[in-house]
Amino acid sequence: MYLLDRAVHRNGDSLQSRSYLIEDGQVRYVTGNFKKWKRIRSVLEGIALEPGRVMAANRLLDAANFTSFREQQAALIEKGCTTVVVLPEAAYERQLEATLKRAKHALASSTLDYVIGLSIPLTLLRSSVLRRCQKMKIPLLQIKLTSCRQLQELPWSHLAQTLMSYPILLIPSVDEHVAEQQMLLDVWEQCCEHYHLHTAPPLLEEAPWTKSLLQKSGLYPEKGVLLHGSDADYLLFAPEDQGGTVARKDGFVYHDNNPSIVVVRGQIIKENQTTVGKPGYGRYLQIKRPGRFLAIEDAT
């Protein structure tokens, strides 16, 4: 058990001093000040702290060997990624279980915690597929859109009824060469909104996930935030100058920089320019229920 004392934490457009009590890889207490703490204390006054970043990175599944996998993951860690999301492709319903199993095997040596979703064609978006994904605890599906006609012909009411017990996040994907790309996304958004299905904009590779995306996928509040009960995934940023400044008048520049220290569940996996995390330390995350803490107004 140790205390991260008086770190500079970004909250929206403001910087706040926060202290975090860490025990067994989790955040046990968050406060502005913890003067009475008598045990291990790491004074971080003037040091910027941010929650670990959740990112999608499908390229990890294409690594040719362990060396390539390690290099690709080191590049993610350099960006502050502490939890990685992959969406392997399954073209047929009979491939769902095997695809999940292969992805687990590919990530067995991961230093980062990881979440596995699936990428499927629109023709597979049916109740039988959703039920199998629910049984496997797949929290998100990337749906490849091809035509507005197929979208309009989907049994939306049956899909909505199936998703009531375990509301899988459905994320659209449209090939950049499709002429009616924006129209497809607009129709998709309208249908999901009408039937109250959880959806989000197309995923960007290796971009930090927003709070809304964390909530819809079921990762919040375990990942991507630092609250009581969250995993102790955090980033520390070196002061921008010798005077200890972490922000300039024109914005919080550290937020877009690479962190000096990356920590996953209380363990340092990157220190300065060196990745020190152990292969296999990463944990496969099974989501109990997507959208657990999602506000009603953010349901779609």
For residue 244, what is the domain's CATH number? 2.30.40.10
- Residue 36 confidence (pLDDT): 79
Are residues 175 and 240 both part of a single domain? no
Is 269 domain-assigned? Answer: yes
Is 296 domain-assigned? Answer: no
Task: Give the Cα separation of 201 and 134 in Å (integer).
Answer: 22
Are residues 116 and 163 both part of a single domain? yes
Residue 244 has pLDDT above 50, yes or no: no
Task: Give the Cα separation of 206 and 92 in Å (integer).
Answer: 27
Are residues 151 and 171 both part of a single domain? yes
CA count, 13 A, side-chain hemisphere, 123: 5
- Residue 248 confidence (pLDDT): 40
What tens digit of pLDDT does each residue of 9-32 get?
A: 876 667 889 999 999 999 999 998
Are residues 44 and 63 both part of a single domain? no
Are residues 38 and 135 both part of a single domain? no
Are residues 213 and 86 both part of a single domain? yes
Residue 240 has pLDDT above 80, yes or no: no
Is 289 domain-assigned? Answer: no
Where b means 16+ CB within 10 Å and e means fewer, 147-179 reads eeeebeebebeebbebbeebbbbbbbbbeeeee
Are residues 58 and 46 both part of a single domain? no
Which band of pLDDT confidence, cut at 50, 70 and 90, is reported for residue 249?
very low
Task: Give the Cα separation of 209 and 231 in Å (integer).
Answer: 16
Are residues 36 and 145 both part of a single domain? no
Are residues 29 and 95 both part of a single domain? no
Count of domains forming the chain? 2
The sign of the CA dihedral 290, 295, 299, 300 is: negative
Q: Which residue has the higher pLDDT, 254 or 89?
A: 89
Are residues 233 and 266 both part of a single domain? yes
Is 294 domain-assigned? Answer: no
Bridge partners, 275 (sequence order): 270
Residue 241 has pLDDT above 50, yes or no: no
Is 297 domain-assigned? Answer: no
Task: Give the Cα separation of 104 and 87 in Å (integer).
Answer: 11
- Residue 246 confidence (pLDDT): 42
Q: Which residue has the higher pLDDT, 35 or 163?
A: 163
Which band of pLDDT confidence, cut at 50, 70 and 90, is reported for residue 300?
low
Which band of pLDDT confidence, cut at 50, 70 and 90, is reported for residue 173?
very high
Which residues neighbour 247 within 8 Å (Cβ) at sequence distance 6 or greater?
15, 48, 240, 253, 254
Is 21 domain-assigned? Answer: yes
Task: Give the Cα separation of 23 and 92 in Å (integer).
Answer: 44
What tens digit of pLDDT does each residue of 43-99 get?
A: 888 899 999 999 999 999 999 999 999 999 999 999 999 999 999 999 999 999 999
Average of per-residue pLDDT across 245-261: 57
Are residues 177 and 85 both part of a single domain? yes
- Residue 243 confidence (pLDDT): 39
Alpha helices in the chain (DSSP H): 66-78, 96-106, 127-135, 148-152, 156-162, 181-194, 211-217
Cα separation of the two ends of the chain:
39
Are residues 71 and 145 both part of a single domain? yes
Give the domain extent around 88: 54-218
- Mean residue pLDDT of the chain comes to 90
Select from 285, 246, 281 the least CA-distant residue to 266: 281
The sign of the CA dihedral 36, 38, 42, 46 is: positive
- Residue 245 confidence (pLDDT): 42
Residue 112 has pLDDT above 70, yes or no: yes
The reported pTM is 0.92
- Residue 252 confidence (pLDDT): 44
Is 286 domain-assigned? Answer: no
> What DSSP state is assigned to residue 60?
G
Is 280 domain-assigned? Answer: no
